[in-house]
Amino acid sequence: MFKTFILLGGLTALFVVVGFALGGEAGAMMALLMAGGMNLFAWWGSDRMVLRMHNAQPVTEAEAPQLYRMTQELAARANMPMPALYIIHEDQPNAFATGRSPERGAVAVNTGLLDLMTQQEVAGVVAHELAHIKNRDTLIMAVTATLAGAIGFLAQFGMMMGRGRENRPNPIAMILMMILAPLAAMLVQMAISRAREFEADAEGARICGDASWLANGLAKLERGKIGHVNQTAEANPGSAHMFIINPLSGLRMDRLFATHPPTQERIARLMALGPMRGAPAVAAPRGTSPWSAPPKRNPWA
């Protein structure tokens, strides 16, 4: 919550400074009003915006019974409410969680992940996302995704307003553009720490009952994303930190948003945890997948 307030305060100050540079006191007042509206939206609506951004489709127990019941059982083991469940029709295997509180949590899973993984590995990934919701990481994750997009819009607005007579760039607007672009990345980097992923991995292993399930899932995710470009994530790199592994291809300047620790280090830490307390959450035989269904059948049903 403290990090969230810092981010919202930083965004407000940034909007006011740019507004003053572009329009004096009137510009600063207009920017302050815009920042207030953006802060309110980021707090209350950022989770829904991120889900829409990635074309996440809600699913019910009737539509995806095994995935729904698995998530329900894992949530019960974590002593938290059942989150809303979403499917993203995307070939790249990945997943993310969002929501400003456990009561408003949501887990979104790509179809590429369901096609690739066994039941145990899916359970490990879902448990990791539930850990983010339980630890209330999802609020800061959604807010930072919104702020990164807002700052990008602000930079474009500054460029448009920077045109003076004879279509010459305004030097102040150009300087602001140079500052705002890396600042957007820096805000995301500051808000999301590497420790957050390690903590969610450890808590996810405790929730599902077997650290190897998540470790194996991470290994498959890292291999599975090769050759699968997530165009939506590439177009919205500020949301990359929300996924369980970095969805970006690493081209252009995407590495500025690389907030995930190395996957091999995450796997090593998971395997070093040793046996978990309590019975595993899913008891299906290893090597089987409930989503390896006959053709023309939903792969997650």
129 is catalytic: yes
Identify the CA nearest to 195 among candidates 260, 141, 146.
Answer: 260
Tell me which of 61, 63, 73, 129 is the catalytic residue: 129
Interatomic CA distance for residues 270 and 266, integer angstroms: 6
CB-based contacts of 20, cutoff 8 Å, min separation 6: 27, 28, 31
Q: Name residue 171's amino acid.
A: P
The helix (H) or strand (E) run that includes residue 96 is strand 95-98
Interatomic CA distance for residues 68 and 61, integer angstroms: 5
User: CA torsion sign, 77 to 83 to 85 to 86?
Assistant: negative
| Residues 45 and 99 sit within 8 Å (Cβ to Cβ) | no
| Residues 143 and 43 sit within 8 Å (Cβ to Cβ) | yes
Give a three-class secondary structure readout of 116-175: HCCHHHHHHHHHHHHHHHHCCHHHHHHHHHHHHHHHHHHHHHHHHHCECHHHCECHHHHH
CB-based contacts of 162, cutoff 8 Å, min separation 6: 22, 169, 170, 172, 173, 174, 176, 177
CB atoms within 10 A of CB 212: 19
Question: Active-site positions?
Answer: 129
